[in-house]
Amino acid sequence: MWNTLSAALCSNRDIVLNVVSSGIASLLLPGGRTMHSRFKILVPCIETSICDIDKKDDLVGLLKITKLIIWDETPMTNKWYFESLDKSLKDIMGTKDNPCEQIFGGKIVVFGGDFR
């Protein structure tokens, strides 16, 4: 399902970031990377953590034009990782005078995994 969703958006020249919680699963997604690698999430992640993304980093430009983030294996991920990305995307997508208040900076994030 993730491959089909990624292919559909990429065929329209939209940017899709595929991330997972573990390295092995990242091989199953097109352009898949671990959440730590893609978003520079610090390990260990605590309640006050944010992603280690510099405002001058190329990753900021990529995140601004990203249409969709697919995050697989989310049930086995601590909530602080999601909150870390949420805080960072709000900071990136907002401006100095007008901070972004939308969840995940207004980016569409799809969570997947075995929720049983």
pLDDT in tens, 93-115: 998 888 899 999 999 999 998 88
Is 116 part of any domain? no
From residue 59, alpha-carbon distances to 45, 72, 86, 114 in Å are 20, 20, 15, 29
Residue 86 in contact with residue 50, Cβ under 8 Å?
no
Residue 58: per-residue pLDDT: 95
Is 11 part of any domain? yes
Domain count, the chain: 1
HEC sequence for 57-110: CHHHHHHHHEEEEEEECHHHCCHHHHHHHHHHHHHHHCCCCCCCCCHHHHCEEE
* Residues 43-56, mean pLDDT to the nearest whole number: 92
The domain in which residue 91 lies consists of 2-111
Confidence bin at 71 (pLDDT 50/70/90): very high
Residue 56 in contact with residue 5, Cβ under 8 Å?
no
